[in-house]
Structure 1
Amino acid sequence: MRLFGGRDRGDAPTRPAAGGVPSGADTVPPGLRIASAWSWRLLVVGLALAALLFLVAQLRIIVIPLMVAALLTALMIPLVEWLQRHRWPRGLAVAVAVVLLLAAVTALFWLAVSQIRGGYPDLQRRALASYDGLRQLLLESPLHLTERDISRYTGAVVDAIQQDSQQILSGALSVGSSLGHLLVGMLLTIFATIFLLYDGARIWRWIVHIFPRRARQAVDGSGRAGWVTLGNFVRVQVLVAAIDAVGIGLGAFILGLFYGGFPLVVPIAVLVFLGSFIPVVGAVTTGAIAVLVALIALGPIPAVIMLGIVLLVQQIEGHVLQPFIMGSAVKVHPLAVVLAVAGGSIVAGIPGALFAVPVVAFLNVAITTIATGAWRTNPRPRDVSEVPTA
Structure 2
Amino acid sequence: MSRFARFRMRASQTWARLRTNPYVERYEQVRRRNEDPELDDVPDEVEEEFADADEVEPPDPEGVPHGVKVAAGWSWRALVIAAAVVGVLYLASILSFVVIPILVSLLLAAMLQPLVALLVKAHVPRSIAAAIVLIAGIAAVAGVLTLVINQFVANIDTLVDSVQKGLLNLQDWAKYGPLHLEQKQINNFFSEFQTVITDWLSDNQSILAGTAVESLGIVFNILTGAFLVLFTTFFFMRDGRRIWTFLVRMLPERAHEPLLHAGFASWRTLVSFVRATILVAFIDAVGIGAWLMFLDIELAIPLAALVFLGAFIPIIGATVSGIVAVLVALVGDDWVTALLVLAGVIVVQQVEGHLLQPLLMGRAVSVHPLAIVLAVAAGVVLAGPIGALIAVPIVAVLNNGIKALRAHAHPPDETPGNVAA
Q: Does 1:136 align with 2:175?
A: no
Q: Does 1:55 align with 2:95?
A: no
Q: 2:227 aligns with which of 169, 179, 187?
A: 187
Q: Which amino acid aligns with 2:142?
A: T
Q: 1:126 aligns with which of 149, 156, 162?
A: 162
Alignment of 1:71-150 (within 5 A): 71-141=107-177, 142-145=179-182, 146-150=185-189
Q: How far 1:372 sits from its partner (Å)?
A: 2.2
Q: Which amino acid aligns with 1:269?
A: A
Q: How far 1:156 sits from its partner (Å)?
A: 10
Quick one: distance in 2 between partners of 1:332 and 1:32?
35
Quote the residue 1:33 is aligned against: 69
Indicate how the Cα distance of structure 1 residues 137 and 73 shifts in structure 2: closer, same or farther if over 3 A, else same: same
Quick one: distance in 1 between partners of 2:277 and 2:217?
29
User: Contact 2:105/2:230 (CA < 8 Å) preserved in 1?
Assistant: yes
Quick one: distance in 2 between partners of 1:234 and 1:15?
58
Q: 1:23 aligns with which of 49, 53, 61?
A: 61
Q: How far 1:158 sits from its partner (Å)?
A: 8.3
Q: Does 1:208 align with 2:248?
A: yes
Indicate how the Cα distance of structure 1 residues 79 and 153 shifts in structure 2: closer, same or farther if over 3 A, else same: farther
Quick one: distance in 1 between partners of 2:361 and 2:91?
31
Q: How far 1:222 sits from its partner (Å)?
A: 0.6
TM-score, normalised on structure 1?
0.82
User: Contact 1:369/1:375 (CA < 8 Å) preserved in 2?
Assistant: no
User: Contact 1:217/1:375 (CA < 8 Å) preserved in 2?
Assistant: no
Q: How far 1:55 sits from its partner (Å)?
A: 0.6
CA-to-aligned-CA distance 1:296-336 (integer Å, 9 cap, x gap): 11111111111111111111111111222224341222222
Q: 1:228 aligns with which of 265, 268, 293?
A: 268
Q: Which amino acid aligns with 2:187?
A: R
The alignment partner of 2:97 has SS state of: helix
Alignment of 1:1-390 (within 5 A): 23-24=61-62, 27-141=63-177, 142-145=179-182, 146-151=185-190, 178-256=218-296, 262-373=297-408
CA-to-aligned-CA distance 1:266-315 (integer Å, 9 cap, x gap): 11111111111011100110111111110111111111111111111111
Quick one: distance in 2 between partners of 1:138 and 1:14?
80
Q: How far 1:116 sits from its partner (Å)?
A: 0.5
RMSD: 2.6
Quick one: distance in 2 between partners of 1:73 and 1:61?
19
User: Contact 2:364/2:400 (CA < 8 Å) preserved in 1?
Assistant: no
User: Contact 1:221/1:376 (CA < 8 Å) preserved in 2?
Assistant: no
The alignment partner of 1:228 has SS state of: helix
Quick one: distance in 1 between partners of 2:289 and 2:197?
27
Quote the residue 1:386 is aligned against: none
Quick one: distance in 2 between partners of 1:375 and 1:200?
27
Q: How far 1:45 sits from its partner (Å)?
A: 0.7
Quick one: distance in 1 between partners of 2:311 and 2:167?
31
User: Contact 2:281/2:307 (CA < 8 Å) preserved in 1?
Assistant: yes
Indicate how the Cα distance of structure 1 residues 129 and 191 shifts in structure 2: closer, same or farther if over 3 A, else same: same
Q: How far 1:152 sits from its partner (Å)?
A: 5.9
Question: What fraction of aligned residue pairs are identical, expressed as a percent?
Answer: 39
CA-to-aligned-CA distance 1:320-377 (integer Å, 9 cap, x gap): 1122222434122222222221222222221221111111111111111111227979
The alignment partner of 1:332 has SS state of: coil
Gaps of 5+ in 1: 1-7, 17-21, 163-175, 257-261, 378-390
Question: Number of residue pairs matched?
Answer: 341
Quick one: distance in 2 between partners of 1:214 and 1:188?
34
The alignment partner of 2:180 has SS state of: coil
Indicate how the Cα distance of structure 1 residues 147 and 122 shifts in structure 2: closer, same or farther if over 3 A, else same: same
The alignment partner of 1:301 has SS state of: helix
The alignment partner of 1:178 has SS state of: helix
Q: How far 1:143 sits from its partner (Å)?
A: 2.8
Which structure ranks higher in relative contact order (CA pairs < 8 Å, sequence separation ≥ 6)?
1
Quick one: distance in 2 between partners of 1:157 and 1:373?
64
Deviates more, 1:108-117 or 1:332-341: 332-341
Quick one: distance in 2 between partners of 1:344 and 1:134?
37
Quick one: distance in 1 between partners of 2:72 and 2:405?
27
Quick one: distance in 1 between partners of 2:344 and 2:217?
37
